[in-house]
Structure 1
Amino acid sequence: MSITIRPIRSHEYHPLGEVTVAAYESAGYLAEGDGYADYLRDVASRAATGPVLVAVENDRVLGGIALTPPGSAESEIAGPAEAEIRALAVDPEAGGRGVGTRLARAVVDLAFAELGAQGIALSSLDAMRTAHRIYTKLGFDRVPERDWTPVPGIRLIAFALDRPTA
């Protein structure tokens, strides 16, 4: 069976939202009643502000990743010429198949080739070690000076990747 990475279609917003919540819940990244699950389910809002890619196999959504374009008001830590990655998630049942790496690689290519980004930034919980390995493999560096606390008790660590020089 073949996994395809492509832009999301509107009928896939709900399935991707549910996959994203399932991925975060199964890893223990969601606190009861914190409201973050509502953000994760709201794929339509992410798609309205930037590209969202999905990994699909036989019409089943296996995962997704969102990107805010350079200069987006939705960016949290990206500079004016940087894109920002959001909500990388893989269905727990599809874990270990390279889906997350393929999604991240595709969104990096999209940011540089199609959006003209000069760099890419992202925030992550310290505990998201699998995602950190993916980003490091793709050349992202930790940038501790961009670490931040969006709400009390939640510390996000930052990674960044500069546009490759030819």
Structure 2
Amino acid sequence: MTSHTGLDLVLRRAVAAEYAAIGELTVAAYHADGFLVGDEGYAATLRDVAGRDREAEVYVAVDGAAEAIQPDESGAVLGAVTVCSADSSYAELACQGELEVRMLAVAPEARGRGVGGRLMGQVVSLARARGMTRIVLCSQDRMRTAHRLYERFGFTRLPARDWSIGEMRLLSFSLELGERA
């Protein structure tokens, strides 16, 4: 799978050997954009990939060239995303028939190379294959780069599901997929 940037990516479920690297990558991505300032409690949540993968599903984008040499090794992870259904303890917004996106992160050194877009494309494919009617997610109001990615995929704001944690405002977005088959 080669993107328009020439980056060869493999998208797949994460494996246990990658959990620590995924956790650190996710924390690094959030720190790089200033989204974890003073919130080390959430950093611990981001690092708990094993717990996330038990309660939801974690997918990775890995460097295809490195994957061909050493499959399922953490050194090649360039990005990750968690998805869950309404019955998961990780669901914040999802209702029945919806797939929720959580903790999308791209390694700071891999940004601008299509990794986030490829991961979101994987999420859309998963949701369609499972007969979901909608994909939902929430995002800090300051995460404007992420918002542009979601909008490119056709996500629209879902203000009725916006919420806050203390001073942090979380905006909700949705992508309508149509009726279940």
Once residues 156 and 91 of structure 1 are traced to their aligned partners in structure 2, the CA distance between those partners, rounded to angstroms, is 22
Deviation (angstroms), 1:69? 2.0
1:152 corresponds to which of 158, 163, 166: 166
Asked if 1:95 corresponds to 2:101, the answer is no
Listed as ranges, the matches of 1:1-166 within 5 Å are 2-57=8-63, 58-59=66-67, 60-113=76-129, 115-149=130-164, 151-164=165-178
Structure 1 residues 91 and 155: alpha-carbon distance in aligned structure 2, compared to 1, 3 A threshold = same
Q: Secondary structure at the match of 1:75?
A: coil
Once residues 45 and 102 of structure 1 are traced to their aligned partners in structure 2, the CA distance between those partners, rounded to angstroms, is 24
Q: Secondary structure at the match of 2:35?
A: coil
Once residues 34 and 22 of structure 1 are traced to their aligned partners in structure 2, the CA distance between those partners, rounded to angstroms, is 12
Deviation (angstroms), 1:72? 2.8
Once residues 145 and 105 of structure 2 are traced to their aligned partners in structure 1, the CA distance between those partners, rounded to angstroms, is 11
Deviation (angstroms), 1:33? 4.2
Deviation (angstroms), 1:139? 1.0
Contact 1:71 1:82 in 2 (8 A): no
Amino acid at match of 2:13: P
Once residues 39 and 168 of structure 2 are traced to their aligned partners in structure 1, the CA distance between those partners, rounded to angstroms, is 14
Uncovered stretches (5+) of structure 1, i.e. residues with no partner: none
Bigger Rg, which one: 2
Once residues 104 and 48 of structure 1 are traced to their aligned partners in structure 2, the CA distance between those partners, rounded to angstroms, is 21
Deviation (angstroms), 1:121? 0.7
Deviation (angstroms), 1:123? 0.4
Uncovered stretches (5+) of structure 2, i.e. residues with no partner: 1-6, 68-75
Amino acid at match of 1:64: A
What count of residue pairs does the alignment treat as equivalent? 164
Deviations 1:98-143 (A, max 9, x none): 1001001101211221x33211110001111121111111111111
The farther-off stretch of 91-100 and 71-80 is: 71-80
TM-score (norm 1): 0.92
Once residues 34 and 47 of structure 1 are traced to their aligned partners in structure 2, the CA distance between those partners, rounded to angstroms, is 21
